[in-house]
Amino acid sequence: MMFTLIIVLSVFFSSSSQLLLKKGAETLVIPSVFTLETIYRLSINIISNIYLVGGVLFQVIALLVWIYVLKKVDVSYAYPFISLGFVFVIFMGYLLYNEPIGYIKLAGSLIICIGVFILSKAN
* Whether the predicted pLDDT of 52 surpasses 80: yes
The domain total for the chain is 1
72-110: per-residue pLDDT in tens?
A: 999 999 999 999 999 999 999 999 999 999 999 999 999
16-48: per-residue pLDDT in tens?
A: 999 999 999 999 988 888 899 999 999 999 999
pLDDT band at 123 (very low <50, low <70, confident <90, very high): low
Provide CB contacts within 8 A for 9, sequence distance 6+: 65
For 8, the domain range is 2-121
Q: How far apart are CA 100 and CA 9, in angstroms?
A: 25
- Amino acid 32: pLDDT: 85
Provide CB contacts within 8 A for 112, sequence distance 6+: 83, 84, 86, 87
Over residues 40-68, mean pLDDT: 96
